[in-house]
A and B are shown apart, each in its own frame.
Chain A
């Protein structure tokens, strides 16, 4: 299994190189830079040129790309123009915030998505199945930014249960953290839970129609044994794949939700870095997101390896 994980890690290197090259090249493809944003709408072209010069944005392409890769190989992602701090520090500071909300959201997704999917499959074509399908459809159909705004109106403005936004670190106040992250986590989770419900339901229905399930039932196993010991293990294969995808979406796709709730996470950081044309931060953020997604994929692959004997055999273990 270790050899398998190492080989997957090695395969990630060229992908990371391509991502970093894309991140760097992007600067030269889109107009506007940090000087444009910093100077504001009433700055003249001459003013902007001077700001560029002072910020070192005027250096030749070759010089910039060489120093970018030399620094990258030394683990230095550069200095953020917006924050005035090392990019790596900014990412390390913000990652726990986004990761915390993503994991909270993932937990909600798993509980709701898996349970609803299983219940729906076990009650195929009955009222519970239809209710679960409706829930999944609503989850998939509602844009999460809209849901977030509706939640603010209901839970903050009308009921006064939760704050409209902001963020309290867990270390400062666990209850404060829970209060400030619940709505963002739920807003992010609903779509994913809908997706997971559908996947779980359809996979479970397919598994339940397999011969080995019929055999298990014929052996006289109870329904719970059939589901728990035989069906779930096979349902987990596609579900793990989807969960990996869901976590990657949650990690990289929280820009809008973080902006709505004013959460200083990785998503908000990246969103502002793009709007401020803080290219070192955008580059660093893309590379770190790519790293985390690659790592996540490797974890999912290793989980496959562990869950599915067929992969083990193919992998030569």
Chain B
């Protein structure tokens, strides 16, 4: 594990240098070519698609599909390192203020129009206006388009983690034609530069993609790697079928009606594993966690929050939340990641009701209700809430579970005055991308724990500033550890463990690489 982490450290520290010299470095390896072309791939996904307007949403369901249609200037590879995608190389000025991207030549949009720097500029302008993570562009003073194939970002001041932020895929800055970029939220026609183009989108039913024959692949890496690399559409079409009912989705996989099914539940695994014609692929999904409401009594009281953390047996909670598919790990990074730190883990999985009771007494807790806000739509939310509720009761809390549908629960949790004291969630893309992105949701102005006047602890914000702007990677990693320790000690959030996700594949699906999102490039179908 340590070896992997060191490798990641080296990778991140050389990320920018690597990006700049990426083109020539892959010639030694053979570029991917589809062993077989043709066929119609069918993928069963577990949830509906809220939109395909990728600038506006952090929903994984959207990325599953949209990231096969759209591409960004720079994205993340399979190791979560930044990798150039629509750019072939990048120059950074000595003062760290100018980032010059040289665009991949010959790229056309799905409507046949050549992609130029004007489209990139228009896409950035749209993202700055309505993009989900547009605060990542706050550091950008302006951008320039000196010619059709060059795009320059000019920063207000140097930012060590700028490339990490720019390449985030939580809500990626995908490039669309300038005329589409002029449109509002949800009004765009879905036209990208990716290996697949959109044919049909029926939001509650299916999405049909078709191979884009004029696709010009990136040569930065020889094969598909995460969202980047040399992508090729080997199949003629891809149909994403939304089969929300788990039993029906598993049956479709078992009968061969679909080639790939996402979110295989732990309870179905023994049966599917016994079948010769189904292969299961498991990966880390995200950190199951929750956070308190800083504006509502009694969780506005630090001692009460610390009592909550002390009362929790995280293993029981993550077991229930995952049906046994979990890793007992409390950090806000996976152990293999460069920013992984054990700082503050003494506050994880304390399972100490006596300490919790003592803290409650010290806090002068008078039995005020503690509302655990959950939704039945996700097992990781509802089951975690039920178990945590019992654990809190043992410690002397007057806790109760409030169950709402997901949009209502989410909206309630975003309201400081809402009827909630603790909200359950899973951090996926934020944790996977590491660094400042993993802590951003605790820092102003994104603080999820709804502090009074939307002002989180100044001490944490100062630490976060060092995570984001520390001069060297070592400084930033050290600051990350401090930030994590502060977050756990002051209970900005409580982690339960890492959830695992499993996909099921039919045997004729070849080349499938398990990744945080479903990638349908470089997959071919055997007879």
> A residues near B, CB below 8 A?
30-33, 36-48, 50-51, 54-55, 81-84, 148-149, 152-153, 156-157, 160, 163-167, 259-264, 268-269, 271-272, 274-277
| A41-B58, A156-B251 given; A48·B48 CB < 8 A | no
Residues of chain B within 8 A (CB-CB) of A37 are 50, 59, 407, 410
The reply to whether B51 and A82 contact each other, CB–CB distance below 8 Å, is yes
Chain B nearest CB from A285 CB (Å) reads 12
The reply to whether A276 and B58 contact each other, CB–CB distance below 8 Å, is no
A31, A164, A269 pick with most chain B CB within 10 angstroms: A164
C-alpha spacing A32/B242, complex, angstroms:
23
Q: List 6 A-B contacts (CB under 8 A).
A: A41-B410, A44-B135, A51-B130, A156-B257, A164-B257, A165-B241
C-alpha spacing A233/B244, complex, angstroms:
45
Stretch touching chain A among B181-189, B308-316, B337-345: B181-189
C-alpha spacing A129/B275, complex, angstroms:
44
Residues of chain A within 8 A (CB-CB) of B135 are 44, 46
| A32-B408, A51-B185 given; A46·B445 CB < 8 A | yes
Contact partner of A262 (CB less than 8 A), chosen from B242, B247, B254, B430, is: B242
The reply to whether B185 and A55 contact each other, CB–CB distance below 8 Å, is yes
The reply to whether B445 and A81 contact each other, CB–CB distance below 8 Å, is no
C-alpha spacing A269/B242, complex, angstroms:
13
The reply to whether A260 and B245 contact each other, CB–CB distance below 8 Å, is yes
C-alpha spacing A165/B243, complex, angstroms:
8
A40, A45, A54, A82 pick with most chain B CB within 10 angstroms: A40
Contact partner of A54 (CB less than 8 A), chosen from B57, B184, B448, is: B184
The reply to whether A42 and B252 contact each other, CB–CB distance below 8 Å, is no
The reply to whether A164 and B255 contact each other, CB–CB distance below 8 Å, is yes
C-alpha spacing A84/B185, complex, angstroms:
10
Who on chain A is nearest to B411 by CB?
A32
B354 in the interface (beta carbon within 8 A): no
The reply to whether B412 and A164 contact each other, CB–CB distance below 8 Å, is no
Chain A nearest CB from B351 CB (Å) reads 27
Beyond A33-B407, A38-B56, A276-B48, 10 additional pairs, beta carbon < 8 A: A31-B418, A37-B59, A43-B58, A47-B132, A47-B134, A54-B129, A55-B184, A152-B247, A164-B248, A164-B251
Contact partner of B203 (CB less than 8 A), chosen from A48, A262, A272, is: A272
The reply to whether A164 and B446 contact each other, CB–CB distance below 8 Å, is no
C-alpha spacing A166/B204, complex, angstroms:
12
The reply to whether B405 and A275 contact each other, CB–CB distance below 8 Å, is yes
The reply to whether A40 and B406 contact each other, CB–CB distance below 8 Å, is no
Chain A nearest CB from B213 CB (Å) reads 26
The reply to whether B257 and A149 contact each other, CB–CB distance below 8 Å, is no
Who on chain A is nearest to B186 by CB?
A84
Contact partner of B130 (CB less than 8 A), chosen from A36, A54, A277, is: A54
Chain B nearest CB from A268 CB (Å) reads 5
Interface positions of B from 23 to 73, Cβ below 8 Å from A: 48, 50-51, 53, 56-59, 62
Residues of chain B within 8 A (CB-CB) of A44 are 135, 441, 445-446, 448
Contact partner of B185 (CB less than 8 A), chosen from A36, A54, A83, A272, is: A54
Contact with A along B407-445 (1 / 0, CB 8 A): 110111011001000000111011000000000010001
The reply to whether B446 and A82 contact each other, CB–CB distance below 8 Å, is no
Residues of chain B within 8 A (CB-CB) of A152 are 247-248, 251
Chain B nearest CB from A102 CB (Å) reads 18
The reply to whether A39 and B204 contact each other, CB–CB distance below 8 Å, is no
How many residues belonging to B are interface residues under a CB distance threshold of 8 Å? 58
Chain B nearest CB from A213 CB (Å) reads 48
Residues of chain B within 8 A (CB-CB) of A164 are 248, 251-252, 255, 257
B462 in the interface (beta carbon within 8 A): no
Who on chain B is nearest to A273 by CB?
B204
Who on chain A is nearest to B253 by CB?
A164
Who on chain B is nearest to A271 by CB?
B204
The reply to whether A275 and B445 contact each other, CB–CB distance below 8 Å, is no
Chain B nearest CB from A316 CB (Å) reads 48
Contact partner of A42 (CB less than 8 A), chosen from B129, B245, B247, B430, is: B430
| A31-B415, A48-B414, A149-B247 given; A40·B59 CB < 8 A | yes
B454 in the interface (beta carbon within 8 A): yes
C-alpha spacing A277/B411, complex, angstroms:
11
Contact with A along B343-354 (1 / 0, CB 8 A): 000000000000
The list of the 7 closest CB pairs from A to B, nearest first, reads A32-B411, A40-B58, A32-B407, A264-B205, A272-B204, A31-B411, A42-B58
B170 in the interface (beta carbon within 8 A): yes
C-alpha spacing A51/B134, complex, angstroms:
12
The reply to whether B410 and A165 contact each other, CB–CB distance below 8 Å, is no
C-alpha spacing A203/B473, complex, angstroms:
82
The reply to whether B205 and A36 contact each other, CB–CB distance below 8 Å, is no
C-alpha spacing A37/B441, complex, angstroms:
18
C-alpha spacing A268/B243, complex, angstroms:
11
C-alpha spacing A155/B87, complex, angstroms:
51
B202 in the interface (beta carbon within 8 A): yes
The reply to whether A260 and B248 contact each other, CB–CB distance below 8 Å, is yes
The reply to whether A262 and B255 contact each other, CB–CB distance below 8 Å, is no
C-alpha spacing A263/B202, complex, angstroms:
11
Contact with A along B373-402 (1 / 0, CB 8 A): 000000000000000000000000000000
The reply to whether A36 and B407 contact each other, CB–CB distance below 8 Å, is yes
Contact partner of B186 (CB less than 8 A), chosen from A38, A260, A261, is: A38
Residues of chain B within 8 A (CB-CB) of A148 are 248
C-alpha spacing A212/B206, complex, angstroms:
58
Chain A nearest CB from B382 CB (Å) reads 15
Who on chain B is nearest to A153 by CB?
B251
Residues of chain A within 8 A (CB-CB) of B48 are 272, 275-276
C-alpha spacing A37/B408, complex, angstroms:
9
Residues of chain B within 8 A (CB-CB) of A262 are 205-206, 241-243, 248
The reply to whether A38 and B57 contact each other, CB–CB distance below 8 Å, is yes
Contact partner of B248 (CB less than 8 A), chosen from A32, A165, A271, A275, is: A165
Contact partner of A269 (CB less than 8 A), chosen from B53, B204, B206, B411, is: B204
Chain A nearest CB from B212 CB (Å) reads 22
C-alpha spacing A126/B56, complex, angstroms:
66
Residues of chain A within 8 A (CB-CB) of B248 are 148-149, 152, 164-165, 260-262
Chain B nearest CB from A128 CB (Å) reads 35
The reply to whether B454 and A36 contact each other, CB–CB distance below 8 Å, is no
The reply to whether A36 and B410 contact each other, CB–CB distance below 8 Å, is yes
The reply to whether B410 and A32 contact each other, CB–CB distance below 8 Å, is yes
C-alpha spacing A51/B171, complex, angstroms:
13
| A54-B185, A275-B407 given; A165·B414 CB < 8 A | no
Contact with A along B496-518 (1 / 0, CB 8 A): 00000000000000000000000
C-alpha spacing A31/B375, complex, angstroms:
14
C-alpha spacing A81/B187, complex, angstroms:
9
Who on chain B is nearest to A44 by CB?
B446
C-alpha spacing A34/B48, complex, angstroms:
14
| A36-B411, A48-B414, A156-B255 given; A259·B57 CB < 8 A | no
B50, B58, B129, B247 pick with most chain A CB within 10 angstroms: B50
Residues of chain B within 8 A (CB-CB) of A38 are 50-51, 53, 56-57, 59, 185-186
Chain A nearest CB from B270 CB (Å) reads 16
Contact with A along B165-186 (1 / 0, CB 8 A): 0000011000000000000111
C-alpha spacing A277/B405, complex, angstroms:
11
Residues of chain A within 8 A (CB-CB) of B244 are 259
Interface positions of B from 222 to 276, Cβ below 8 Å from A: 241-245, 247-248, 251-252, 254-255, 257
